[in-house]
Amino acid sequence: MIKKVQTFRYVITRKIWKNGMNKKTITLALAGLFSAASANASDNTKLLLSPTISKNHIAFVYAGDIYRTNKKGEEVVRLTSHAADERDPHLSPNGKWVAYTGGYDGNSDVYIISIDGGQPKRLTFHSSRDTVIGWADDGDSVLFTSYRETANGRTGQLYKVSVKGGLPQKVMEASVANGDLSSNNRYLAYNPHHPAHAGSSGWRNHRGGTTPPVWIYDLKENSYKEIPHVNASDTHPMWVGDKVYFLSDRSKHKRLYSYDDGKIKQVSKNKNWDITSADAYGREIVYSMGGELYIFDSKKKRSKKLDISLNPDLPQLRASWKSAMPSLTNAELSTTGKRVLLSARGEIFSVPIKDGATKNLTKSSGANDRDGLWSPKGDELAYITDENGLYQIVIADQFGKEQKRFAANESVADARLLHFTGDGKQLVYTDSKMNLWLLELDSGNKTKVMQNINMNGFNTAVSKDGKLLAYTKTNDNYFRDLYVYEIASGEHVKITDSMSHSTSPAFSPDGELLYFASSTNHGQSAFFLDMSTQENPQRYGLYAAVLKADGKSPLLPKLADEDAVEEKSTDDKSAAKDDSKEAKSDKKSDKQEVKPAIDAQGIETRIVALPVPQRFYSSLTVGDDKNLYFVENEQPGSSIETSGRALRDASLKRFNTKKRKVEEVKSGVFNVRTSHDGKHLLMLSQGNKLSVGKVGATVKAKAINTGGVKALIEPRQEWAQIFTEGWRNQRDYFYDANFHGLDWQKVYEKYQPLVEHVGRREDLNYLMREMISEMEVGHNVVYGGDGHREQRVAVGLLGADFVVKNNQYTVGKIYTGENWNPHLKAPLAMPGIEVAEGDVIHSVDGEPLTGADNIYRLFTGKANTQVRLEVSKTGKQEDAKVVVVETISNERMLRHWNWVEDNRKYVWQQTDGKAGYVYLPNTTTAGYTNFNRMFYPQTDKPSMIIDERSNGGGQAANYITDVLSRQYLAGWKYRSGDMILSTPAGAVYGPKVMLIDQDAGSGGDFLPYSFSRMGLGTLIGKTTWGGLIGVSANRNFVDGGRMNVPHFRFFTPDHEWRVENEGVKPDIDVEQDPVLVNQGKDPQLDRAISEVLEQLKTFKPVRHTVAPAMPKELGK
């Protein structure tokens, strides 16, 4: 029954399943290779992906490894078993090799492996992402796409590399996402760009601009034609004889189609599942659908399903102990500061500050337990769990023993715990419907305090006596007002007047003062989505509201007379005794009138500004020393590091209420909380590092030992929880509660059975992407999580192209760093580095280099370090000299900036200086920076070309359209000099055009939409992506993975849902003709130049360059 088919490997034939041995596991492996089929394996394993076919075999991917089987699915052999990602398998034409993309050493490169297994051979070494798409030259070369020389865009270029090794050859300059060469190597059927449903994005039936066609390029004649295309995604083109087959969702499901003699024919009729990938050999096509494999016979016009059973040893399925700290979500000190309660990795941990052991109080790998809180007395804790599929609030003792459980909401909604009230009798929490709640623990009664108008709009605090709840609420002007809710009476008292933006409330220990931060310059930063919020200083003052009418300001004048001070002290003691007597009297008489804890009348006149500079403050809290502690954050835009990233720093400060000045407490603190007794501070620093110290002017912080914060992870349990929580996230946060009419419960029932087939965390993301793609919207993405992470072995780069001539490596183009970018490093362009274009490189660090080798192999592991090159101008070894160069790890930005600068210079040249050129990579920080960097120095030009192709979005670029729409208002003349000043100075008043394409989306959709709607100019290029449903408000998964759920959507002033899933169409449609691109041209940019020049012919300048004649009369 066991058939020997190789000298080193055994496989189990299908007869085993039919001979009654399905209860017994048989696993045979030799030379480190595992036979994937086993006697107790599932009858039909699913989530089999990326199949490829040859004359006798099929290869496919399961759980990140590559397998091969015969065409009956009866013999399955595991070819790869590395923990790194192995994907995109393609069987060679002769069926002897499998080419695939390997993610070893943290890189993405081309490998080949024998169909019989063994050691794979690495063919590429560049640090850029290389992706295998097929074979060329009758199996002598592997086809792959790469971004190594892509200066701009989201699609790479096509290369081929010999199976013997050496420097890969670029097939053509035009972009290629996927494709297949005809058997005679003449015709390339390919996609010029990727579909919208790719990577981390789930988006079925996309109908925006990112719907790739299939083009057939004649590599001999340098011409191309397009397979008849509709606004749908045509992908995975493949040759079957002289016909091209491809996948398309033009009929609402992704099905198989054929193209021949100008006609397109649908050849599959799948209804429940999309075909996700396909490959062809001879007359047969293998494809994956619903996680299972099928073979389509193009002659017989029918498909058959392969029943493939696997039971491999998968490392990610092993239960293992892991640190929970990377997934820390909440931390809170106990009442006395002896322990800290951590919520991490879906567990609640009690961690000692000094003595004792770390305790996992929940131990629930299949549930997400979070938001752990200590009660004020320290004898109880609260947390939220989804253990039973619903969000419930659990009350437990300090050892984790459950005492009570409450449903967080009567209707489905996510919930987040915020505080115990100061008396420990109630809990404060919010939900995904933007409600603020109080839960009474004795009765279980819930009180809805307030509903906000935006997500995460509540900043809250509770008074120590349990009488008051402070909260912020967002107004229609986007400013937050501060309120105090008196719990006993249910009265809401508005503290601020809507003319400032208030955050971070904190009660004094006696409950008589409410501290908070408030900003009066918040206006430009009010709505996070607007680009006009970029780099605005966040100036907050610190304030104290005196809550009682007879209360005292913390800034009352100091008395110079010492006797008076003592009298004050005596009065205070007397008052304290009176208060004590009154409290005892209150206990004796239940009928005595209860005085309100806050006096609403005149509260606006009892707000006191503390004498502190206005800066960016957060995390206010008050210690038992009655001093105010807070974090001062780095101001936006105040500094850019040489790495190109903004400086992020913060420090803990305190306002000394006696000395009435700000004191530095500790640097590097980003968040701070006090213990319930106010005697200790819990501080958070970068890297989730926690420390504790006693309140005071200088804190002797003790780092909390979180080494014991570990959880036993049962992957299948955790993955099932993550999958269900992902489904609930959509249910609770998606902007349309009706899901556009989709039955979301049925979607769950369709995909949930596949969870048991998940063999690694990355495939859980794949499954969730397929699930959320049913919603057919943009910005619905899944990524991250606790998958395998390879330790990166970075490859050093020199910022240059290379050419092999006469079996030697010659330096091609050397890329230079843009003058005003200190973080952009160009190794060979540095003054003093004596390497020029055309020089020959003989060796790298003493290792000889010939044309038969791959130069990047010699730079493996040598990124950002010095290397010694032997270089000559003659190509002769005896003429070589040694040059020491410091490499870089990534040259994408170097190539990008050279492309941008080449475009700018080209526009200047072609327009004789009449037009400027600005490139916008996105509509967030980089786009804002690029616009300011490029636009204002070119405002002396009468016209402007704005290039937003491949714009990655980010924010609504109102800042850019505001600047572009500026009208000429005035000129100004000095007595001397010829220059006439203008108001506004930073403006271009003449013709403007904007370049757009299918890879520009999100904010890259909104920018051309607003540009067009405001009548600012002409749009040229291709329809944009079409994604204007907003990003996310839900929390991360327990393992740090992320699902971005669209929770708001754009509509026009005409009250119409637009742009989403349709894109922004150009006024002038221009294709990036691959024939012209291969000639080094940019058809879209050339069309923009001609359009600007044409419009300039009729443009009448509005800006005066000469002042009027001087007045000759007094008073004129």
Residues with catalytic function: 779, 1002, 1060
**Pair 979, 973: CB distance under 8 Å:** no
Burial of residue 651 (number of CB atoms within 10 Å: 0-12, 13-18, 19+)? middle
On whether the CB atoms of residues 136 and 142 are closer than 8 A, the answer is yes
Residue appearing with tokens 């109908």: 207
Sign, Cα dihedral of 861, 864, 868, 871:
positive
To the nearest 10°, report the CA torsion of 16, 18, 24, 30: 10
547 close to 603: Cβ distance less than 8 angstroms: yes
Distance CA 1030, CA 735 (A): 9
Closest CA to 1009 of 1054, 944, 942: 1054
Characterize 824-835 residue by residue with b for buried, 16 or more Cβ atoms within 10 angstroms of its Cβ, and e for exposed. bbbbbbeeebeb
Alpha-carbon distance of 573 to 580, in angstroms, equals 10
For residues 774 and 768, what is the distance between their CA atoms, to the nearest angstrom? 10
Beta-carbon contacts of 762 under 8 Å, excluding residues fewer than 6 positions away, are 64, 85, 785, 787, 788
- Short-list 462, 454, 452, 513, CA closest to 486: 462
Where do we find the tokens 């397979």?
227
Paired residues of 286 in beta bridges:
279, 295
Nearest CA to 374 out of 344, 347, 336 is that of: 336
Let me know the angle formed at the C-alpha of 773 by 772 and 778, rounded to the nearest 5 degrees: 100
Q: Shortest CA distance to 610 belongs to which of 520, 558, 542, 508? A: 542
Are 964 and 1016 a contacting pair, CB within 8 Å? yes
Among residues 475, 493, 491, which one has the least CA distance to residue 483? Answer: 493
Tokens of 1016: 């600012």
- Angle, CA 201 vertex, CA 197 and CA 207 arms, to 5°: 40
Q: How many residues does the chain have?
A: 1116
CA dihedral 739, 744, 746, 752 (to 10 degrees): 140
Pairing status of strand 97-102 against strand 370-374:
unpaired
Task: Report CA dihedral (554, 556, 559, 565) to the nearest 10 degrees.
Answer: -50
CB-CB contact of 83 with 788 (8 Å): yes
Beta strands 359-360 and 347-352, pairing class: antiparallel
Are 1031 and 1081 contacting, i.e. CB atoms less than 8 angstroms apart? no
DSSP 613-676: --B-EEEEEE-TTS-EEEEEEPPTTS-B-TTSSBP--EEEEEEETTTTEEEEEEES--EEEE-T
Query: What are the backbone dihedrals phi and psi of residue 705, each rounded to the nearest 5 degrees, phi first?
Result: -80, 105
Place of tokens 């007395």: 377
Buried b (16+ CB within 10 A) or exposed e, 669-696: bbbbbbbbbbbbbbbbbeebebbbbbbe
Residue (of 481, 478, 479, 509) closest to 493 by Cα position: 481
